[in-house]
Amino acid sequence: MAAFDWRTHFAPFIDYLNNSDQKAWAETLTGQLIRRFEDNPHGDMARWQAALEALPKNVSANVELNSSAVTVASDQPLNQQDAEHLELGLRGLMPWRKGPFNFFGTHVDTEWRSDWKWDRVAPHLAELKGRTILDVGCGSGYHCWRMAGAGARQVVGIDPGLLFMFQFLAVKGYLGDVPVDLLPIRMEDLPANLEHFDTTFSMGVLYHRRSP
């Protein structure tokens, strides 16, 4: 199995930054990704990539972003081989923290009920439709998908956990080219004085900080 092709994966977002008058950020981010994936790769990368690649590919899938569980569904039930691959892939991406998710009828019982948090926050939000959003500490990207479902124009989640990135890709793989991205970086890695986003979320982050 080939190594994770991070350059191809992040190329659309790098191009987006270059075309959005954010060339300095694009250059900085590229250097950060080189250090993350080439200079100091995580020892579990191959295992997580194998789990991601095990998920059923040749199925017609629809993704629902506006339900409590972000749901990947198909009009036809999975055949036995695809069902086995699905279980192999989802188990290989454990533990699932933020969620819940549902893949082809298999409910992923995540550690945290992020839908409860979203339901409490959503009534107090300004309109998200058409906005460019940053989600700091996004975990697996559950809230990024809910923000996209609320009509955001662009959503960028950041979280240094690489397992979270692969969990995010498990959903994105069924959506194709959508303006939702997860960057495996810390908030300290963002450019200083960044003026790019209309809305910034930071939910469940402060208590992880040594000096909030």
What DSSP assignment string belongs to 162-191?
HHHHHHHHHHHTTT-S-SEEEE---GGGSP
Which residue type sits at 13?
F
Residue 11, pLDDT score: 97
Read off the DSSP letter of residue 136: E
- Residue ranges of alpha helices (H) inside 35-79 are 45-54
Q: What is the pLDDT of residue 3?
A: 80
Max Cα–Cα distance, the chain, nearest Å: 52
What's the rounded Cα separation, in Å, for the pair 161 and 157?
A: 12
Contact 70, 145 (CB under 8 A): yes
- Rounded to two decimals, the pTM is 0.95
One pLDDT digit (tens) per residue for the chain, 212 residues: 678 999 999 999 999 999 999 999 999 999 999 999 999 999 999 999 999 999 999 898 999 999 999 999 999 999 999 999 999 999 999 999 999 999 999 999 999 999 999 999 999 999 999 999 999 999 999 999 999 999 999 999 999 999 999 999 999 999 988 999 999 999 999 998 888 999 999 987 776 777 77
- For residue 15, what are the CA distances in angstroms to 27, 105, 109, 172? 11, 36, 36, 18
What DSSP character marks residue 38?
Answer: I
Asked if residues 179 and 155 have their Cβ atoms less than 8 Å apart, the reply is yes
